[in-house]
Structure 1
Amino acid sequence: MELTVRHIDLSMGEGKRARTVLSDVSFSVPDGAFCSLLGESGAGKSTILKVIAGILLQDGGSVLFDGAPVDGLPAHRRGLGFVFQDVRLFPHMTVEENVAYPLRMAGAGKRERLARAGELLERVQLPGFGPRRVQTLSGGQAQRVALARAIAAAPAALLLDEPFSGLDESLRDDMRSLLLRLHREDGLTVLMVTHDANEAIMMSDRIVALDGGHISQIGTPEELYRRPATAKIAACFGDCSVLKGCVESERFILDGIVLPALGIGDGPAVAVVRQGDCLLSPVGEGHGTVPAGEAVVRCGVYAGAGYLTRLDVAGQTLTVPTASLPDPGEIVPVRIDGKGCFVFSA
């Protein structure tokens, strides 16, 4: 199913206390695609999901499924699967009863419901868990049960609200792999809320980046990574240094550091520099990099495979991976690969 939101507006509160939560939000998720809503807390990601699900009613705009508006349909008639961050399993039901609940609401018989629940528990790698109480489950197991319940009635699309944020890193990786496998096997349209840019890159066909209730950029993971539209988007992909300076004649200038700023008008600007695209090297060394100037070493930290050297640039910090630590106070040459440097007008 193709999922479309068109010019969605939503405010919360009344009178002087009213605040805009969503403003003219429009995007589409093609049939069978995996799309992520990416942004900081408060950007409006979860609110959009609830509008699509029919949990919240928008002030303006429309939600469409395969081109047909569904704004008048209540949540239980929209045919969507939903996985919340806090899973929301029914504590008075067994695992298999939780998974089978959507089928029960659809009028399926008990034998059919339990057979489907058993099949889904196998698919989410929880065979034999059906009779258990949900209170006995670990966090990762509960998320698997919630995912199985969400797809039990073959929903038209699957909505996920930061489903893995409460899990440790190894469990998150397992759940991401499981979700992608189910998505590909069933051909489900998936829309997932996340604040983790790396998660969005790894899992998505399309990313919708939000900031303050507005859409900042829509594109493939590669488009957002290589051609970010804003400093916030550039800074969310990997470890970065953010520097405030000025652009003069298409050059970003901050103390002894000069960076290319093609197409950026003169005036205050922000440069986002990815750590992996910086190095300390004499002129002429460093394939793919260009001289950016010199800076003073402030300090450094051990980072496992090497060190992170902190450079002082007019009171701001530029972090560069190094094989060893220079001495504090040393003046060092900096080289930067332009592909990992993004400049935006302030």
Structure 2
Amino acid sequence: MSKITLKNIEKSFNKIKVLNNINFEVPEGKVVSLLGPSGCGKTTTLKIIAGLIKADNGEIFLGDKDITDVPVEKRGAVIVFQDYLLFPHLNIEENIGFGLKMARIPKKEINIQVERMLELVQLKGYNKKYPNELSGGQQQRVALARALAIEPKVLLLDEPFSNLDTKLREDMREFTLEIQRKLNITTILVTHDKEEALMSSDKIAIMLNGEIKQFGTPEELYERPTSIEVADFFGEKNYIGGMVENNMFISDICNLPVEMEDIKKAKAMIKPENIKMYPEGTTGLTGIVASSKYAGERVYYTVLIKGKELKIISQNSKIYKVGESIDIDIEGIKIFKGK
């Protein structure tokens, strides 16, 4: 089995703790993203899994085997970095075959594997070219081929698409995931891009300040965040203070039905896309459009209601003007206690 399991991983540099009690598991053949801002410990976690950095405490298992102290070359895990790190003086077939050569694989077998990898990443015929003759996307594919050539049990991707432009980034992400599914390889993706994590992962670990704040499916994290800091990571939200009484959230702006116990002090989180806009007189909850930003298929509004600004993302074809009176309808809320 090639599932990877981290148990109570901790790491400090110069007495500053950068990882605190990291625990998660990646089932065999699945993709887990480590999602968080720069400096939160994502890449350090990846390097510990690969064996490039030793953890201060904790254990790492590959299947049922403890690989915590296993040397890098025997772990069965390989990293693809965002900077590719191709050898400029080696041609493409030499770059792809480098790891196999270091493992003293016979040259004939190396040639066969290199050809297989070139075909897999759709670069057949590029054997004798050099990295500086390739585009960014082609170089990324070579880096991926080099990693896969040694047939690792775990693929570690450290923001591998961040140096590419938007369209190429999307194409390379889909291309890489297609190969991942084809080879059924256990994969961990490090990213700070929430959309990339949501679209690419079976599960996501939200990392903030060296800790995993929530671990679950993309839908669980986006729809049911367990804290405001996790909710905020997925984009701007609206928050309204109030209380819950008799299955009703009560606030100065509106009262909304909820199914939960009474809470004297609560905060309702409302996603901008969960607020719908209508002509005045429709719902009875009236506000004034304070700002409007047109972005093609959607419009970003700020609406002032009873002294409170609410952010709204609308995909309605009707455009409301600044200063116009409108009604809103709130279609979903999440309640946090004691806020």
TM-score, structure 1 as length reference: 0.87
The Cα offsets for residues 140-194 of structure 1, whole Å up to 9 and x where unpaired, read as 1111011001110100110011111121222122212221221122121111111
The residue aligned with 1:212 is 209
Letter in 1 for 2:295: A
Instruction: Mark the CA change 1:54 to 1:296 in structure 2 (over 3 Å): closer, same or farther.
Output: same
Q: 1:299 aligns with which of 282, 285, 291?
A: 291
Corresponding position: 1:266 with 2:267: no
SS of the aligned residue for 1:266 comes to strand
Corresponding position: 1:110 with 2:107: yes
Correspondences of 1:171-250 after superposition (within 5 Å): 171-237=168-234, 240-243=236-239, 245-249=241-245
Write the distance in 1 (CA, Å) between the matches of 2:251 and 2:10: 40
Instruction: Mark the CA change 1:255 to 1:137 in structure 2 (over 3 Å): closer, same or farther.
Output: farther
Corresponding position: 1:136 with 2:130: no
Shift of 1:103: 0.7
Contact 1:256 1:295 in 2 (8 A): no
Contact 2:51 2:75 in 1 (8 A): yes
The residue aligned with 1:3 is 4
The residue aligned with 1:334 is 328
Write the distance in 1 (CA, Å) between the matches of 2:140 and 2:69: 31
Contact 2:49 2:77 in 1 (8 A): no
Q: 2:167 aligns with which of 162, 165, 170?
A: 170
Identity over aligned pairs, percent: 37
Letter in 2 for 1:202: M
Contact 1:257 1:292 in 2 (8 A): no
Instruction: Mark the CA change 1:93 to 1:247 in structure 2 (over 3 Å): closer, same or farther.
Output: farther
Shift of 1:331: 3.4
Letter in 2 for 1:81: V
Contact 1:258 1:292 in 2 (8 A): no
The residue aligned with 1:343 is 335
Provide the aligned C-alpha RMSD in A.
2.5
Letter in 2 for 1:343: I
Write the distance in 2 (CA, Å) between the matches of 1:312 and 1:50: 48
Unaligned runs of 5+ in 2: none
The Cα offsets for residues 222-260 of structure 1, whole Å up to 9 and x where unpaired, read as 2223222223433444x6433353445376666534555
- How many residue pairs get aligned? The number is 333
Contact 2:243 2:249 in 1 (8 A): yes
TM-score, structure 2 as length reference: 0.89
Contact 2:4 2:27 in 1 (8 A): yes
The residue aligned with 1:288 is none
Write the distance in 2 (CA, Å) between the matches of 1:102 and 1:284: 69
Instruction: Mark the CA change 1:120 to 1:91 in structure 2 (over 3 Å): closer, same or farther.
Output: same
Shift of 1:306: 4.9
Q: Structure 1 stretch 246-255 or stretch 320-329: which is displaced more?
A: 246-255
SS of the aligned residue for 2:300 comes to strand
The Cα offsets for residues 108-160 of structure 1, whole Å up to 9 and x where unpaired, read as 12222122112211111111111111122211111101100111010011001
